Amino acid sequence: MRHRTIGSAPATRREVSVLALGAMLFGSRTDEDTSFAILDRYVEAGGNFIDTSDNYAFWTDGGQGGQSEELLGRWRRSRGIGDEVVIATKLGARPLAPGTGFVDNPEGLSAKVIQESARRSRERLGVERLDLLYAHIEDRTVPVEETVEAFAGLVAEGAVGLLGVSNHAVWRVERARALAAAAGLPGYEVLQYQHSHLRPRTDMPSGLFPEGSLGHAGAELLSYLRAEPGLVLVAYSPLLAGAYTRADKPLRADFEHPGTPARLAALGEVAREAGATVNQVVLAWQMGSGLPIVPLVGASSVAQLEESLAAVDLELTEDQRARLDEV
């Protein structure tokens, strides 16, 4: 397994595997035995970068989430896992009450919530310090300064190592980072956005993003990544929940546009040439990019994980990469 560095400060930066594992459904739809088997195999293969959130997976039982963090805590204790495995979690999108959601009733990003939610995540995970903590979704009811100072306070206390941000407009990310820098405070160093080879329309509103998709790593965010070499992008849903290869997993409506067929054809062509699956080509394309991108894959079985792990050793030719980039 290859690794890359996230973070800049010597005290908090970490070496993480180039392929991250998402634990979103562990402890809910994916039972404990299967979850443990996937986690064990990932670590055995050299993986050490696991992703969760304090609201995973509230939608499976109408609750508030926390199942994934709790399962990871049990797994860590049962396997004697320590600092060698980096666990990232998020706050800000946990429903405030059972039966509600993160769109209509989120916990938000106030200083009080950040302190309390980070403490609960540490308790569920069984750690003294969260390796990486993300602001999960925007909260425009709270001044950016308050959020920046609250996250920095956690770092100062030793409760958090690295800071990250997910699903925010790029201008708000830059504003928060600029405020932190001006005040001499730690700021966001890891970005987490949806990114794959297929490109969605970004002008289609949703309940979470009424202005269009702020959760997708579009041209503006990728340009920002190029301009700021200290940043790393963790790309969630790189395999589009199975839509590349499974007939029972149709593409979302925002991928239904004239550009999609050509990109699918290019992926299929390269996959045939490389003797690989389309999923593996997508992951190899991301990992071999000139940009610091870490694909974040989910798995509901060890077999699914094995397919993704095999992509780490898949080397695309310059010609294949050019065709994928230019289509």
Q: Which of 56, 224, 236, 244 is catalytic?
A: 56
Report CA-CA distances (Å) from 47 to 17, 101, 105, 277, 308: 5, 32, 35, 21, 12
Contact 130/122 with Cβ under 8 angstroms? yes
Calpha distance 325→327 (Å, rounded): 6
- For residue 224, indicate whether it is catalytic: no
Beta-ladder partners of 89? 133
DSSP category for residue 177:
H
Dihedral sign from CA coordinates of 316, 219, 260, 309: positive
**Diameter over CA atoms, the chain:** 54
How does DSSP classify residue 19? S
- The residue whose two tokens read 């989430």 is 65
Cα 321 to the center of its chain, rounded Å: 24
Give the residue ranges of DSSP H helices in the chain: 32-44, 67-79, 111-125, 144-157, 170-182, 219-227, 259-274, 278-287, 302-310, 318-326
DSSP-derived secondary structure letter, 100: -
Preceding amide of 241 cis, omega within 30: no
Active-site residues: which are they? 56
